[in-house]
Structure 1
Amino acid sequence: MASLNVYSVLVVLFLTCVVAMATKENDQIIKENNCETKMGLPCVLEAFTSIFETGSISNNCCGELVGLGKVCHSALVKRTLENPLFKHLSPATIIAKSIHTWNNCLALIDSLSPSAYGYMVA
């Protein structure tokens, strides 16, 4: 019975370390890439609403999201999920909505790129 308690403590300790490392990793990615300065507040709110609530993101804000970059986008979503205010949300659902929003914005921006009109920008 004592070995079960020790095992339980070790599992909890391991999971706590993994969460702490993930938090540090996301914070480091966000800091190193200046992620928090790459989007305007109105577009941040639109992206947040489309991922964490029910809403859509405009074409203009899709451009800002894609400009933010996938690394920053993923790190910011993961860091938000680590916030206790959002513990009631399903991480799997949020990650799926995050990927869906990213893919839709990327497809939109690709469809609007100059090469889509038959010419290349030098």
Structure 2
Amino acid sequence: MESLHVYSVLVVLFLTCGAVMATKENDQIIKENNYETKMGLPCVLEAFPSIFKTGSIFNKCCGELVVLGKVCHSALVKRTLENPLFKDLSPATIIAKSIQTWNNCLALIDSPFPSA
């Protein structure tokens, strides 16, 4: 239960924080395209751990992630990394996991036999 609460807090931060801390480029990309509201909370809760912790993202949420587009995905990840709460994370590792998650989602939704 505590884990769900921690993820909920992180997701809220992921979606809403960083307007002051974000680089102008990432913040502008996110705001101009209204990216923060285009992915449902259940899928954000699934995608966030697959990038910033350990976890998996599945077909439905991969579809939502891919619909956002790679530019949005990258901007949200980079903006989240700028938050002081994530200062102990290795940006190179998170970027690599972000790319891996993106590529896995592309492969999953393009697969003729999608998983649940």
Category of TM-score, reference length = shorter chain? 0.7 to 0.9
**Larger-Rg structure:** 1
State how far apart, in whole Å, the 1-side matches of 2:112 and 2:50 are.
Answer: 21
1:81 to partner: Cα distance: 0.2
Q: Normalized against structure 1, the TM-score is what?
A: 0.72
State how far apart, in whole Å, the 2-side matches of 1:47 and 1:112 are.
Answer: 22
User: Superposition pairs for residues 26-37 of structure 1, below 5 Å?
Assistant: 26-37=26-37
1:35 to partner: Cα distance: 0.7
Partner of 1:3: none
- Which segments of 5 or more consecutive residues in structure 1 lack a partner in the other structure? 1-19, 114-122
State how far apart, in whole Å, the 2-side matches of 1:70 and 1:92 are.
Answer: 17
> Once the two structures are superposed, what CA deviation does each residue of 1:89-115 show, in whole Å capped at 9, x if it has no partner?
0000000000000000011112249xx
- Which segments of 5 or more consecutive residues in structure 2 lack a partner in the other structure? 1-19
Q: Normalized against structure 2, the TM-score is what?
A: 0.76
Aligned residues: 94
> Once the two structures are superposed, what CA deviation does each residue of 1:7-30 show, in whole Å capped at 9, x if it has no partner?
xxxxxxxxxxxxx9x711100000
Amino acid at match of 1:108: L
User: Superposition pairs for residues 1-122 of structure 1, below 5 Å?
Assistant: 23-112=23-112
Amino acid at match of 1:33: N
Amino acid at match of 1:32: E
Name the structure with the higher helix share.
1
State how far apart, in whole Å, the 1-side matches of 2:27 and 2:72 are.
Answer: 10
Q: Percent identity?
A: 88
Amino acid at match of 1:31: K
Q: CA RMSD in A?
A: 1.9
Secondary structure of residue in 2 paired with 1:47 = helix
Amino acid at match of 2:46: E
